[in-house]
Amino acid sequence: MISFEQALDVVLNQAVAITTEFISFQDAPGRVLASSVLCDRDMPPFDKSAMDGYACKRSDLFAPLKVVEVIRAGIPPVKSIGPGDCSQIMTGAILPEGADTVIKVEEVEEVEEVEEVEEVGAQRRSRSTGIEKFIRFRGEKTSANICYRGEDMQAGDMVLEAGTLMGVRHIPILAAVGATSVEVYRQPAVGVMATGTELVEPDEMPGVSQIRNSNAHQMIAQLRSLEIRARYYGIAPDEIDLTRNRIEQALNETDVLILSGGVSMGEFDLVPSVLESLGINILFQKIAIQPGKPTLFGIVNGKYVFGLPGNPVSSYFLFELLIRPFICKLMGNNWKPLVLRLKAGKQLSRKNASRMGWLPVRIDKQGKAFPVEYHGSAHIMALRDADGIIPFPIGKTQIEEGESVDVRSI
């Protein structure tokens, strides 16, 4: 039996990213970049207005300004800004030559008619400007309100680094730099199989001594959260030849096989002996963890096999603790779970401290962690209200109210 930390190291050290492929940027969520994406031009590509307003010279802020042009986004300006001039400008439009400030439209008042004053000898006379439009800044001060060329990113800068696990938030970034085809690591083909004569599928009514198969469908859903469509190989009964044939078929068709049940020490726990008969090198078969002690991991010819316990909470936790980071590394990403440092809302305790423990908890509105009702690894309803799990180190039986705990999302 090895520690959880040792088991995780063994699993991750065996994971080697597989081949790459090019896909449409629209299909990138859930995939891992195999090569970095660079910016193809400055962003913004020109000095532009950050808002609707009037582009002018800062030195002319407190004088009436004549509007010489209206500049829309997507249409280059025609006129430059001279002394006493301004251009009405829309958000995102190119800043005209000569302007260094954009006045917010809400800080401007229109002057219906402005008189231009001329001095003739000792006399002053005025003349009407006619239908020309003038505006006046009515604020006290203003920022430039300009987005400058290249201030967000410059051509050749790295936009997304190789190894990035792509999400929806990355799609507009790829679109903005024209990266419509991206190189990603290929997703592994993953098979899921349940074992046990006592199991029936969820759409069947169990007979006496039977239960519905929840583990396989739970793991299929967990894989789908990684954008992986699992291949389901059904339920293998506790018959050695049928189990061997089903496992052999799955190994021929997949890169990773995840088995549920049949890995303990009972007379009908056939998985370890079947795997050995198929040439699987079993690297560990027990972990000092609760729940999930009878967890198996093996390899053969670049194929990987996980054997998880049959109890549903155990299989759920071990998928999150071992298989999720393993699958991510196979796809080229060193995934790390979200861990929140919170206070325990009440005292937590356990009896057996010989193994590392994981306890399901909920998080209340004040951000404190409370245990959910939990009767052990077979208590599937404990997952209903759980927001995460917290670790109990080996030797620790109690966590006091108010003590800091690491809540790992599940």
CA distance 30 to 371: 31
β-pair type (289-290, 296-300): unpaired
- Tell me the pLDDT tens digit for each residue of 50-80: 999 999 999 999 999 999 999 999 999 999 9
Give the DSSP letter of residue 285: S
In a 13 Å sphere around the CA of 312, the CA atoms on its Cβ side amount to 19
Domain boundaries, given as residue ranges, for the chain: 4-18+187-330, 20-43+155-185, 48-147, 339-409
The whole-number pLDDT of residue 363 equals: 96
CA distance 316 to 191: 16
- Dump strand ranges (E) for 213-295: 231-236, 256-260, 281-284, 289-290
The whole-number pLDDT of residue 128 equals: 42
Residue 87's H or E segment, with its range, is: strand 85-89
Spans of the chain below 50 pLDDT: 117, 120-129
**Which residues are CB-contacts of 162 (< 8 A; sequence separation ≥ 6)?**
33, 34, 35, 36, 332
β-pair type (211-212, 231-236): unpaired
- The residue type of 206 is P
* DSSP-based three-state secondary structure for 181: strand
The whole-number pLDDT of residue 132 equals: 85
The whole-number pLDDT of residue 376 equals: 86
Give the DSSP letter of residue 15: -
The whole-number pLDDT of residue 351 equals: 86
Instruction: Give domain 20-43+155-185's CATH number out of 3.90.105.10, 3.30.310.80, 3.40.50.720, 3.40.50.300.
Output: 3.90.105.10
The whole-number pLDDT of residue 113 equals: 58
The whole-number pLDDT of residue 120 equals: 46
For the 339-409 domain, the top CATH level (class) is: mainly beta
CB contact at 8 A, 390 and 339: no
Quickly count helices (H) and strands (E) in the chain: 7, 30
CATH for the stretch 4-18+187-330: 3.40.980.10
Q: How many CB atoms lie within 10 A of CB 82?
A: 12
The whole-number pLDDT of residue 126 equals: 38
CATH for the stretch 48-147: 2.170.190.11
